[in-house]
Chain A
Amino acid sequence: MSGSSSSSALGRNWLWIVVLLIAIGLPWLFYDWEKARHSGFLLTMLSQMGMMIIFALSYNMLMGQAGLLSFGHAVFFGLGGYCTIHFLNAAEAGSLPLPLEIMPLLAAFSGLGFGIVFGYMAAKQRATAFAMITMGIGELIAVAAIMFHAFFGGEGGVSANRMIERSVLGVGYGAASEVYYLILTWTVIAALLMLFLTKTPLGAMANATRDNFERAQFMGYDPRRVRFLQFALSGFFAGLGGGLYAITYEIVTFDAVAGALSANAVLMTYIGGATIFYGPILGATLITLLQSGLSLLSNAWLIYVGVLFILMVTFAPAGLAGMIEAHGPIARAGRMGRLAVPYLRLLIPGGATLLGAVGLVEIASFVTIGAAQGKSLSVFGYKIGVDDTMPWVIAFALLGVGGAWLRIEIRHFARVWEDVTADIKQRSV
């Protein structure tokens, strides 16, 4: 990071500015000018992406930067959300005269508060003990959310009205688009702050205690204190994400603190790539896309997410961002052309394998879930009978033949990749 020259840093920043412009402009591309309204689906998805990006980045402050595997990160997100609901209700009742734009900041400080409390419990440990304690905290809060009605509202959750009629910008926040731009603004601020944190003494020492906690001790640092501060600050940003969640949906239930969301943090961060700062941004974007888009298309979408996770852990432990970064030296040496054909050759067997696998999952899911819902499977208008033999045979054949062919092509690809990288290394010496 510190070694990147100013020109490449500028190049990278340009890319992020383009991403930001897309995020700003996308709702208007799908704007229905006749009815004069935005696409609700798109706005909900983009809003969800924003808060998940904050959530995943805050999780990576633990996993990627400090080497701490937490299984209870939703606690801070959810509690930030619950607190925000109460703040909103207080604002409506007139006892908290603050504009809506500031509410996420209050949520962040709530997250920080809980981060300090639970960090005190968890940060003394690392590795497995740390993971177990965070899991315990997660379960504790999840149970508390059902038990203590006054604060958590039981199974029904708590709700509020975000139109508190107090705004710095004079915006009502009745429309989803107004909320989306609030989320976008906070996402950019939070991401920049978290990027800044990686470049401070605490951020550097978080990396140091991750790599070698004992050595950090012999340099004057208490690794437990480093972990504690990193944990508390990570709670700050998770709480911020939860605040945006509460403002968007105006209701927070048990789901916001539950284990499934904590697991999602792990998924997003790992799939996106924990070793590179922007990895969780990619992971959160992709997982949200799958959650919103794929879940409409398939009952079995969670299976695909699960398989993707296993594949990434097995074959690309540095995640999507790691895969992108691996191309860096090749691109800089101007050798991407040599990879074009090998990449194209992966397409057909890759597509066949994917089709076979998806086919099998879908047919299988329609045998049970589909039948229960009285639906039938159709592809391009053709009805497919799940009791027939033929669809199964075709799917198995695609998976088998495609898979075998794909293995050959992957080996070919790996050879070319090694040739190119070896070539570049030789030239640079």
Chain B
Amino acid sequence: MTESALSLKDVRKNFGQTEIIRGVNLEVRRGERHAVIGPNGAGKTTLFNLISGRFPISGGSISLNGTEIHTLEPQRINRLGLSRSFQITSIFHRMSVFENIRCALLWSQGYRYSFWHPLWRQKALNQRAEELLAEINLLERRDLQAGLLSYAEQRSLEIGITIAGGATVILLDEPTAGMSHSETEYAVALIRRVTEGKTLVMVEHDMRVVFDLADTISVVVYGQVIASGPPAEIRANRAVQEAYLGALTE
């Protein structure tokens, strides 16, 4: 039990009459890189929204490191050590790149809702923000308004914001969507670097990225996990090939 960083048991979600997630069971071991794949509309992003607390679940249970989280609000789940990125870039457009990262650091550094700490004098905080900027290669863009970054840079910033708070479980929703080949390679290297030693769950469409990065792959089709296992096993799985993979890997 405690082996699992993330554990989903018979998770269900319906929007009105339509059941989108139909009893998902999923175990994510601590420290593994876990890819969730599946055709469009299979419910992968919905699954992320349920895990991160964005939507309430309709049935089942979700636990993070053994603690049930499915009744908690997103900020509470985040404070327990789970952080997510968004498929559609979700940054603070009117703030500088530096401020984006610094804000993402604030809670984990214990500042809470303080209105008495002058930010410019928080040496450790500002230094940590600079280090993170260096890590995601945006140090040169430090003072630029985040909305003015290029698309690929915004995606890097998105990842930076996601990892800044020091979460142990990272959910990345299509981190390489819309990227060119070289940008994708760069993003994969970045993800590998910044999630070192952490548990990573990612939704991804690019099969090169999936087989390059993942230790475990789960295949979601029509709101259910039809297979879960190491890449070689998934590649060989008949049901997966029929439902989804075949056309992409051959």
Contacts and interface: CB of A to CB of B under 8 A. Distances in A.
A203 B102 CA distance: 12
Q: Helix, strand, loop or mixed for chain A's interface?
A: helix
A225 interface: yes
B15 interface: no
Interface stretch (B104-112, B176-184, B189-197): B104-112
Interface in B135-186: 142-143, 161, 164-165
A207 interface: yes
Interface residues of A, number: 30
Contact of A200 (B86, B99, B117): B117
Contacts of B78: 217-220
Given A204-B106, A208-B95, A215-B91, A222 B73 contact: yes
Contact of A221 (B83, B90, B94, B107): B107
A225 B75 CA distance: 11
B92 to A, nearest CB: 4
Contacts of B114: 200-202
Given A218-B84, A229-B115, A208 B75 contact: no
A2 interface: yes
Q: Helix, strand, loop or mixed for chain B's interface?
A: loop
A204 B93 contact: no
A191 B95 CA distance: 22
Interface in A192-233: 196-197, 199-205, 207-208, 210-212, 214-222, 225-226, 229, 233
Contact of A219 (B54, B86, B107, B143): B107
Interface in B19-61: 52, 54
A202 B113 CA distance: 5
A205 B114 CA distance: 10
Interface in B73-100: 73-75, 78-79, 83-84, 86, 90-96, 98-99
Nearest to A210: B94
Interface residues of B, number: 40
Contact of A215 (B99, B108, B119, B161): B161
Given A199-B120, A220-B108, A204 B99 contact: yes
A381 interface: no
A284 to B, nearest CB: 23
Nearest to B158: A215
B103 interface: yes
Nearest to B143: A3
Contacts of B90: 212, 214-215
Contacts of A229: 113, 115
A200 B165 contact: no
Interface in A57-90: none
A354 B142 CA distance: 44
A205 B98 contact: no
Nearest to A199: B119
8 contacts: A199-B119, A200-B115, A208-B92, A216-B103, A218-B75, A219-B161, A233-B115, A275-B94
Interface of B: 52, 54, 73-75, 78-79, 83-84, 86, 90-96, 98-99, 102-104, 106-108, 111-120, 142-143, 161, 164-165
